[in-house]
Structure 1
Amino acid sequence: MGVHGLTSYVEGNHQFFTDMRFRDCRLVIDGCSLYFRLYFNSGLDQARGGDYDTFAVLVRQFFAALSECNVKPFVVLDGGMDQTDKKFKTLQERTQSKIQEAHSLSRGSHGSVLPLLTREVFLQVLSELGVAFVQCISEADFEIASLAKHWGCPVLTNDSDFYIFDLRGGYLPFSFFQWNNISGKAPERYIPALLFTVNHFCSHFNHMNKQLLPLFAVVTGNDYTPAKITERFFRRVELERVPVGRKSGRRCSPRIESFLLWLAQFTSPVDALEEVLEILGGQQKENFHTQLSAGIQDYQIPRTSILPQYFSSAQPALPNTQGLPAALISQPEWLLRAFASGKLPSLVLNVLVLQKVLLVPQVENTHQPSSHITSLSIRKTIYSLLLFEKARQDSQRQQNVTQRGRGREDLNRQSQGIGGQQCDNLCVVDEYDRQDLNLKKNRVEAKLPNSVQELNLATIDKAPAQVRLQVLLGTLGMMDHLLEPLPPHLRLPVCVTYFWKNNSKPKPCHPRLQAMLLGLVYGELSWRTTYPDDPLYCSKAAASVCQRLSLLRVNPGQKTGLELGVAHLFSQWQSCMLAGIYLNQLLCFPLPEPRYAWVFSGTLLHGLEAAIRGGHQPASLLAEDTGALQLYSILLMALTGSALSATPRMSRGGRRIKAQQRGRGNAGRGPGNEGRGRARRGNRSRGMMPADSNLENRFALLKFE
């Protein structure tokens, strides 16, 4: 919800906090706040699409610090948008603001935009580390506070609502949580932190009744309070003026501090509310009472929490059906369990409950159409899977009511045309996306593709794997035999890259496609050379290639010189990748999850693209590691039907001899002419050229799982 201006005021007055040596404790963590703060506070790239590999390392370091201090973390994440729609206007305003910030970043100015795949990387790292987490149905604040109160432990977040919630264990603002500055000697290592408690805070205001704080939050203004209430109250109320630099030594926010002192004169929240209503006055007094009372209720925490069941059960638990939106009560158990365990995105609930989607702005060329247009057909398949069966059932019921009493022959004659039309009308999603520099609503009709007709949302989890795979590949336009030579975890990124190559506008020129493939090779080598059970662990050749590629990175702090065309194209790829991830999740993973942290690195890809345009060739960049060259060749084969030319060999004098094209059938079809001869691709075994049919065997180690 967020209380306007409260964080700046409280954090500017350290006497509201107590010093804490944090260790040996449970900790409830606001997951969304954590990944936002970790990314933004660490100077990671935002202008070029993000550096997920570096971010993943940072997340691991954070949880390693907690483990070193014997802190047991429990992460709670936001889910879908509020079913009542009361916060939707605020969300629209925030998205509009992010469009402006992304535009500023694209021009070399300041801004703050979270890269698109950050959440997916964060959740995957949590799973790999075995950190307990749950995804709530809607906004998580209330559930976080409820769980912390149930356990009597602190909350780590950066949300001003936690200055209002009365938590026995207190609130640890992320701003003062020095996780990267561990102190003390083992086994008593601790994290220096500042702890906030409501009792300590109220003692600074004549020991005011802490039950007055919810009224303070609602009147001061949060995401749910109508702005007219706040403006009307402060325009009419007479508050004591608090001069800056008063004897208390507090840094002053006049409105907030004056209002707290004004409230402190009341002993009862009922009396204070009545006085507020008197000041608001007018004919809308009853309406104001309803709105303020509802807002106050949002800060009342029950004594027990429904979340401990998620963290104690070996299997993902079902959400509490009493708190579910009506549109979700009839949804299949597999879907609700998958969502709670983070295996489905919030987009799924937003479509099912509200049929609305807010698309996240990226740094791109704002003179071009939004990068999300490229992935629209993937999202249409998602919307069809989610809505079509319900729409068909609703349409049939409506049709039966309309035609009740007519003869059976008349009913059968009219059902063919009416039902389909009504069903199409119900399969509509409102997408909010950038148009120029404005947020615009687009109505998307989710037509049902032929490939989806065999699937029903209620039983997707039980459908044959091959059926689910064909829906995914049919949407992405990829042939399954082309995937067989690939390591399983690279198949989805390759499918997405194939889709991107064919659907982005403008289409990627060869240097940009080469940069994308080199980025995938870099990611594959990087994680494998650090994985102790992998055959490439500590491989000198692979490490040398990674170092050579990494040296080409663009400085993440560089504010100028952004290649907008490159940024826009890679933003299109990320939009396609995110939509592909969501579709793969909804289809219950017909393809294995990629290692999200290693499929995209913005500073690397921008640097590689510039290097290739400057004359560097993939063969020379991957020299010394035959496995890397083989992987690159397999990726290129899957996407273009052309393999990398043979590895350059050395003459006796030490000069490289240019490799010849393999076979006359490939004459003129080098890396710069990948489109030629594509019609013949289906005649090659598993999509590979005859001369390269041994690539799969030579690359067997790189398929290690």
Structure 2
Amino acid sequence: KRLRLQGLLNWLSQFAEPTEAVENVLKYLKKHQREEIRELLCTSMEDYTPSDVNLEDFFQNGRYECEAARKADVPPWVLDALAKGKLAPFIINALILRSTFLRVQVENMQRPSAHSAALPIRQVIYGLLLRVPQNNEAASPSKQTQELPVVCEFDRCQKTIKKTFVQAASLSTDFCDDRFPLDKLMEMSTSCRQMLLLETLGVKMSFLESIPNHLQLPVAVTCYWIRCSEPKVKLHQLKALLLMIVSGELHRINDDPGTLYLPVNCKFESTKLITEIASVIFMPIRVMCSSSPSFDGKDDACQATCFCTCQNAILNEDSLLPLSRLYTGTLVHRLYQELKSTPSVENLFILSPKMTQLYLLLLNAVES
């Protein structure tokens, strides 16, 4: 995105005046659209107030020095990541502004925001970013509660915006000492990060041992979703999500036949066979993805899992752990609709016993 924007800015820079730039932009539009777009562009330029922020350095050198971040007295690693545009807006806003805006998504507006399912995860993120250093002397529980920082969240409440003050989570004793203040957060060991992540999700590592490594986090997030989602997850919704994850594995294999991820001691069909199987299975999957999903209020839980995954991606980013991007909303919705009327859709991977085995492994794991 940055390169496309940089290319657009470079192209616009050749024009001496904004009027000339607008006229050249309009040449690329259909004739019947030009007057309307010209009016919109001119109105926007009149309303625009130039900022004192100079983004030229960012687009030319890949860095932008933020004065607000300097004044906030954040650690060097935060300043560096911020200057390079590598920090999620959610993290920046929580860390510097102590407030964050939770994006509105497509969901049933009469129900609570799907972001509510991920509230405990966000509280842990706030606890990591904003926690107060502990004194050597043990503080009383009431004093500890008072010291916990608060973040202002803006979220949807039906069709309006609601402001809520959310208290950061009190981290477990393993993370409450001064070994890992914010400036040393990146020095946490991998095992420590993993422990915090799984503790946040309420899943033990022993539970995930039978799952392929790269699918352990998605499975842990799915378990969290089942436990915290409101309304509660239906079996068809769970199966649709897991079928989508397995289809992602087929995509991975189809794109790179030499990379096969399976449980321990599990041998795959030949590369040629699995590629042929993938091409056959992808036909109904592509049809499902290209079809417009009918909106069903019962699908809200599927929306919630996407945002639980988003919040986990941020926590995962803080913890420097790899997270596969597995969620394809259109496919999940269509699979859910098909499963309600045609249970045999669950046999989507019948041509591949090993993919079926992987699906059953995931299903048994999250149901146990």
TM-score interval, smaller chain = 0.7 to 0.9
1:305 pairs, out of 32, 52, 57, with 57
Does 2:226 correspond to 1:501? yes
Distance 2:336 2:51 in 1: 54
C-alpha separation in 2, matches of 1:254 and 1:607? 37
**Residues 200 and 433 (structure 1), Cα distance of their counterparts in 2 relative to 1, 3 Å cut:** closer
Q: Aligned partners of 1:325 and 1:608: how far apart in 2?
A: 45
Alignment map for 1:45-124 (pairs within 5 Å): 74=3
Partner residue of 1:551? Answer: 287
SS of residue matched to 2:164: strand
Tell me which residue corresponds to 2:318: 586
1:364 equivalent to 2:364? Answer no
TM-fit CA distance, 1:515: 0.6
The residue identity in structure 1 corresponding to 2:69 is: P
The corresponding residue for 2:355 is 628
CA–CA distance in structure 1, aligned partners of residues 183 and 21 of structure 2 = 54
Distance change (3 Å), C-alpha of 1:588 and 1:334: farther
Matched, 1:611 2:363: no
Query: Deviation of residue 526 (structure 1)?
Result: 1.4
CA contact (8 A) 1:517 1:632 kept: yes
SS at match of 1:473: helix
Question: For residues 202 and 459 of structure 1, do their structure 2 counterparts lie closer, same or farther at Cα, with a shift above 3 Å needed?
Answer: same
How many angstroms does 1:491 deviate by? Answer: 1.8
Flag the 1:442–1:503 CA change in 2: closer, same or farther, 3 A: same
Letter in 1 for 2:236: P
Match of residue 383 from structure 1: 126
- Retained in 1: the 8 A contact 2:107–2:303? yes
Name the SS for the 1:198 alignment partner: coil
**Pairwise CA distance, 1:421:** 4.7
What letter matches 1:325 in structure 2? A
1:570 pairs, out of 302, 315, 339, with 302
**Which runs of 5 or more residues in structure 1 are unaligned?**
1-29, 32-73, 77-143, 145-154, 158-168, 173-195, 205-248, 261-291, 311-316, 397-411, 642-705
Equivalent runs, 1:208-247 vs 2, <5 Å = none
Q: Which residue of 1 aligns with 2:69?
A: 325
Q: Give the Cα–Cα distance (whole angstroms) in 2 for the partners of residues 446 and 480 of structure 1.
A: 25
Give me the whole-angstrom Cα distance separating, in 1, the residues matched to 2:339 and 2:40.
Answer: 57
SS of the residue corresponding to residue 165 of structure 2 reads strand
Q: State the Cα deviation string for residues 424-444 of structure 1 (Å, max 9, x = none).
A: 2xx100100000100110110
Counterpart Cα distance in 1 of 2:184 and 2:41: 55
Partners of 1:428 and 1:573 lie apart in 2 by 25
Q: Contact (CA 8 Å) 1:623, 1:629: kept in 2 or not?
A: yes
CA distance in 2, matches of 1:366, 1:553: 24
C-alpha distance 488-344 of structure 1, shift in aligned 2 (>3 A) = farther
- Residue 334 of structure 1 corresponds to which residue in structure 2? 77
Match of 1:374 among 109, 117, 126: 117
Question: 2 CA distance for matches of 1:565 and 1:511?
Answer: 10
1:198 to 13, 16, 19: 16
Deviations 1:141-193 (A, max 9, x none): xxx6xxxxxxxxxx416xxxxxxxxxxx5418xxxxxxxxxxxxxxxxxxxxx
Q: Secondary structure at the match of 2:255?
A: coil
Q: 1: CA distance between counterparts of 2:236 and 2:40?
A: 57
* Counterpart pick for 1:435 among 157, 177, 186: 157
Out of 141, 144, 148, which is 1:420 matched to?
144
Q: Percent identity?
A: 26
Partner SS state of residue 154, structure 2: strand
Asked whether the equivalents of residues 529 and 539 of structure 1 are also in contact (C-alpha less than 8 Å), the reply is yes
Equivalent residue for 1:482? Answer: 207
Match of 1:693 in 2: none
CA distance 1:341–1:632, change in 2 (3 Å)? farther
Give the match for residue 657 of structure 1. none
Between the aligned partners of 2:86 and 2:142, the Cα distance in structure 1 is 37
SS at match of 1:372: helix
How far did 1:519 drift?
0.5
**Which whole-Å deviations, capped at 9, do the CAs of 1:384-435 have from their partners, x for residues lacking one?**
000013xx48xx8xxxxxxxxxxxxxxx89x7578535412xx100100000
- Equivalent pair of 1:384/1:446 in contact (CA under 8 Å): yes
Q: Which residue of 2 aligns with 1:208?
A: none
Instruction: Tell me which residue corresponds to 1:94.
Output: none
Tell me the equivalent position of 2:171.
449
Quote how far apart the aligned CAs of 1:584 are. 0.7
Alpha-carbon shift at residue 510 of structure 1 (Å): 0.8
Query: In structure 2, what is the Cα distance between the partners aligned to 1:549 and 1:489?
Result: 22
* Cα distance, 1:624–1:341 mapped onto 2, change above 3 Å: farther
Distance in structure 2 (CA, Å) of the matches to 1:523 and 1:570: 17
Which residue in the other structure is 1:171 paired with? 12
Structure having the larger proportion of residues in helix: 2
| Cα shift at 1:542 | 2.6
CA gap 1:462/1:297 in 2 versus in 1, 3 angstroms: closer
- CA gap of 1:343–1:482, structure 2 versus 1, over 3 A, is farther
Mapped partners of 1:380, 1:571: distance in 2? 20
Alignment partners' CA distance in 1, 2:142 and 2:358 = 53
Can you list the C-alpha shifts for 1:240-275, whole angstroms capped at 9, x where unaligned? xxxxxxxxx988759959x99xxxxxxxxxxxxxxx
* Residue in 1 that maps onto 2:217: 492
Deviation per CA, 1:217-262, whole angstroms, max 9, x where unpaired? xxxxxxxxxxxxxxxxxxxxxxxxxxxxxxxx988759959x99xx
Alignment of 1:454-533 (within 5 A): 455-531=180-256, 533=258
Larger Rg belongs to? 1
Gaps of 5+ in 2: 23-33, 261-270
Within a 5 Å distance, the mapping from 1:394-405 to structure 2 comes to: none
**How many Å separate the matches in 1 of 2:98 and 2:353?**
50
Contact 1:327 1:353 in 2 (8 A): no
- Whether the 8 Å CA contact 2:70–2:79 is kept in 1: the answer is no
CA distance in 1: counterparts of 2:40 and 2:235, whole angstroms: 59
Contact 1:430–1:443 (CA<8 Å) still a contact in 2?
yes
Name the CA distance, whole Å, in 2 between partners of 1:545 and 1:481.
33
**Is residue 515–residue 605 contact of structure 1 (8 Å, CA) maintained in 2?**
yes
Distance 1:297 1:352, change over 3 A: closer
| Matches of 1:509 and 1:417, distance apart in 2 | 39
Amino acid at match of 2:164: N
Q: Hey, what's the Cα distance between the residues in 2 that align with 1:543 and 1:530?
A: 11
Q: Which residue of 2 aligns with 1:267?
A: none
Cα pair distance change 1:326/1:305, threshold 3 Å = closer
Secondary structure at the residue paired with 1:623?
Answer: coil
SS of 1:498's partner is: helix
